[in-house]
Amino acid sequence: MERPVRVRYAPSPTGPQHLGGVRTALYNYLFAQKQNGTFIIRIEDTDQTRFVERAEQYMLDALKWCGITYNEGPGVGGEYGPYKQSERKHLYRQFADQLIASGHAYYAFDTPEELEAMRERMKSSGVPNPQYGAVTREYMKNSLVLPADEVTARLENGDQYVIRIKMPRKEEIKFQDMIRGWVVFQSSQLDDKVLFKSDGMPTYHLANVVDDYLMKISHVIRGEEWLPSAPLHVMLYRYLGWEEVMPQFAHLPLILRP
């Protein structure tokens, strides 16, 4: 049985609406229209450091001016609301905890100074792009390395931490893109991205995947700037047990100046 088509445009209120964003919204809108599906607007405002006041309303007004209407979202409502991630904050922590319990994520207590020292050590050793990954995590300050009682004590004492995904050491990660066909990544080239920040907010990656799952999104149509993040999202679907309902991806080429 085919899934109902549900697509979304999920901008972040970090500045004015740009042409590439309007194009992405338009493609999602037209795809939903063609397939008798549902078009959703979701505001992804987890990055409070880059939040721009009134940017959300500006983006919604811009879409309205373009004649792009939506079936669910801010000001419209819907069965799967709220449609602002800052209003869904309480939903995300349980999934981060689930990943830790299953061994697919871990607490990392490294300070900014320790992270910078790690990068400098790697650069001096000839590593062009230092990252916190399968090798690096073995000598950093995290729950994969520290004794369990020390991890417990740190958590109870309120030490600051982030939650990182534990990427596999050597694994081929692939998915079929609706535009590009099969896309393949090697996990050894990927880092252990932060899923939950020290301020108690999820990062884009965790919130995005959780919301797409909870809102039953069937197709993710977005710009190719998100293609490098796709293997992380694929692994999150796998680790959370949602691989069978993972949406189909379509990464659109960027709009460039002539």
Residue 234 has a CB neighbour count (10 Å cut-off) of 19
With 90 as the cut, is the pLDDT of residue 106 above it? yes
Contact 46/14 with Cβ under 8 angstroms? no
* Alpha-carbon distances, residue 233 vs 2, 152, 165, 179, 239 (angstroms): 22, 29, 11, 18, 10
Output the pLDDT for position 121: 92
What phi, psi does 216 have (nearest 5°)?
A: 60, 40
Question: What domains are there in the chain, each with its CATH number?
Answer: 6-86+204-252 (3.40.50.620), 91-172 (3.90.800.10)
Average pLDDT over residues 173-197: 96
Average pLDDT over residues 113-134: 91
- Give the confidence band of 16 by pLDDT, cuts at 50, 70, 90: confident
**Residue 227: exposed, middle, or buried by beta-carbon count in 10 A (0-12, 13-18, 19+)?**
middle
* Alpha-carbon distances, residue 224 vs 17, 19, 49 (angstroms): 17, 14, 24
Q: To 10 degrees, the CA torsion angle through 39, 210, 214, 63?
A: -20
Q: Report the chain's mean pLDDT, rounded to a whole number.
A: 94
Q: Which two tokens stand for residue 172?
A: 């081929």
With 80 as the cut, is the pLDDT of residue 211 above it? yes
Output the pLDDT for position 238: 98
Q: Percent of the chain at pLDDT above 90? A: 82
H helices of the chain, in order, are 19-34, 55-65, 89-101, 112-124, 148-157, 204-214, 230-239
Average pLDDT over residues 206-235: 97
